[in-house]
Amino acid sequence: MTDVVARWTTENVLALAPDASSQRAAAGLARPAPWSGTGAAGELVWGLCAGSGQQPYQAIADLTGPAYKCSCPSRKFPCKHVLALLLVWAQGGVRETGEPPDYARAWQQARTAAAAGRGAAADQGGTEPAEGVPGVAKITSEQKRAAAARRSQQRAGRVAAGVAELQMWLRDQVMAGVSGSAGRFGHTEAIAARMVDAQAGGLAGVLRRMSVIPATGDGWPARLLSEYAQLHLLTRAHERLDALPDGLATVVRSRIGYPTGRDEVLATPQVTDRWQVLGVRDLPDAPIPARRIWLRGRVNRRFALLLSFAPGGYFGANPDAALAPGTELHADLHYYPAPPPVRAVIGTRHGSPARGSRPDQPGDLAALVAAWAAALELDPWLTEWPALLAGTPAKDRGRWYLADLSGAAVPLLGQDCLWPLLAVSGGHPVTVAGEWSPAGLLPLTVWHGDRAVPL
């Protein structure tokens, strides 16, 4: 093993953004085109980003800090170039090159010297720091740990302040009446931006998503209050984070927006199986275009979710985002620590994706709603749950349902996906994979014989 820093996830990187517009701008730059001379060595990542001027900007990030430097004139910190560089890196788009270029080395040395100076100054009880002596400069791991602890404390403080502010905001909404305060489109934009500042990216995301609710037609106040209530529940839970059971505390932290590092996930025990790809759902309208890939172990029959982000709108070189329905992959999966265990990353692959057969033993709706209720007990904020069912599409009073073999039925969601599902079924039972939510089932894949048909 080399001591390469465990790669961050896209969410980790986006959590560093000072505001939403930086996220968007960085996402736009996170493509190969503007970048040249990118590289990484140990904790250092660098690259040249073509800008509007003649000289490309020199972007550098030190992952231990994290600390950043860019030659662009932006006053945002980190700037969009650094964020974009890290997004590219997080997706495996930056190679380990070993030797940093001069501008990166110079910056690192200057930082090291300054840190050594500060350390010396502290030791010497406040006298002027000595000039940086080249070669001496190495931050001890002791110092690193201390710095990390300081940063995490700072962050916790910022998040707590943000959460308190959100709670006040929510109370103001119901005091003043949601019909007035929510009458304008985008009424959540300001508080969402505030949550970004407070490094509570998860809250910001939820707030942004709900900004469209007042434009969704009849009954929107009920839908909006439902979102407010669940956010309020989250702020309540955060208030007493220390008193919560471990699992729920992890859920709350992750929903608030504390990132979970990829290395942290990979440190959980691996679950080895032949993972069948049940379905793929693209979310192109999300703030960062995302893709959900649902898996199910052929032997252990456990579900898993791979979540990939494509800041530039394309999933490019990310092999985990390229898995197609109907294939299966022999691999180790690691579940995220937050329960219920569903989101996962791929660890070691034991082969290439190969064409698989139809998943066996699809369930019925009674089992699905039972599993959903059990999952909500672990994470009351869950929005969707995987489903693998045997059933028949059926129309009743102008509405389409999926009826299982016992005759129980749930509404089918989505428009275009209905017709291929109906074509393959022909009014007979079929195996369907999809996403379940309280609104109904969004079908993603149907099996025509042994062949997976994406819907």
Pair of tokens at residue 238 = 């955060």
Contact 443, 402 (CB under 8 A): yes
Binding region for other proteins (CB under 8 A) out of 143-151, 189-197, 220-228, 276-284: 220-228
Q: Shortest gap between Cβ of 144 and other proteins (angstroms)?
A: 41
- Chain positions 422 to 451 lying near other proteins, rule: CB under 8 A, are 422-424, 426-428, 438, 448, 451
**Of 370, 367, 365, 372, residue with least CA distance to 392:** 365
Binding region for other proteins (CB under 8 A) out of 56-64, 244-252, 296-304, 419-427: 419-427
Site string for other proteins, 232-251 (x = CB under 8 A): xx--x---------------
d(CA 160, CA 253): 11
Binding region for other proteins (CB under 8 A) out of 68-76, 113-121, 291-299, 414-422: 414-422
Contact 172, 237 (CB under 8 A): no
Return the SS3 of 234: helix
Q: What are the Cα distances from residue 52, in Å, to 49, 56, 57, 59, 75?
A: 10, 8, 10, 15, 17
Determine the angle formed by the axes of helices 141-176 and 201-210, rounding to 10 degrees.
30
Residue of 230, 268, 272, 357 interacting with other proteins (CB under 8 A): 230
Q: What is the DSSP letter of 243?
A: G
Q: Shortest gap between Cβ of 289 and other proteins (angstroms)?
A: 25
Give the nearer residue to other proteins in terms of CB position, either 97 or 383.
383
Binding region for other proteins (CB under 8 A) out of 84-92, 156-164, 225-233, 294-302: 225-233
Q: Shortest gap between Cβ of 448 and other proteins (angstroms)?
A: 5
Residue of 4, 222, 324, 354 interacting with other proteins (CB under 8 A): 222
Give the nearer residue to other proteins in terms of CB position, either 352 or 415.
415
**36 binding other proteins? (CB under 8 A):** no
**Of 429, 356, 437, residue with least CA distance to 446:** 429
- Chain positions 154 to 213 lying near other proteins, rule: CB under 8 A, are 170-180
Give the nearer residue to other proteins in terms of CB position, either 138 or 451.
451
Number of residues that bind other proteins (CB under 8 A): 52
Give the nearer residue to other proteins in terms of CB position, either 197 or 364.
364
- Chain positions 336 to 395 lying near other proteins, rule: CB under 8 A, are 365-366, 369, 372-373, 376-377, 380, 394-395
Contact 12, 261 (CB under 8 A): yes
**Of 300, 306, 358, residue with least CA distance to 335:** 306
Place of tokens 């994406």: 454
Give the nearer residue to other proteins in terms of CB position, either 27 or 178.
178
d(CA 329, CA 318): 15
Residue of 44, 333, 338, 409 interacting with other proteins (CB under 8 A): 409
Q: What is the residue type of 17?
A: A
Give the nearer residue to other proteins in terms of CB position, either 137 or 178.
178
Phi, psi for 280 (deg, rounded to 5): -125, 130
Phi-psi region of 5 (alpha: psi -120 to 50; beta: other; left: phi over 0): beta
Give the nearer residue to other proteins in terms of CB position, either 185 or 419.
419
d(CA 282, CA 446): 17
Q: Shortest gap between Cβ of 446 and other proteins (angstroms)?
A: 8
d(CA 6, CA 90): 10
Widest CA span in the chain:
84
Residue of 85, 410, 412, 442 interacting with other proteins (CB under 8 A): 410
Q: Shortest gap between Cβ of 442 and other proteins (angstroms)?
A: 14
Q: What is the DSSP letter of 388?
A: E
d(CA 426, CA 215): 37
Residue ranges that bind other proteins, judged by CB under 8 A: 170-180, 221-222, 225-226, 228-230, 232-233, 236, 365-366, 369, 372-373, 376-377, 380, 394-397, 401, 403-404, 407-410, 419-420, 422-424, 426-428, 438, 448, 451, 453
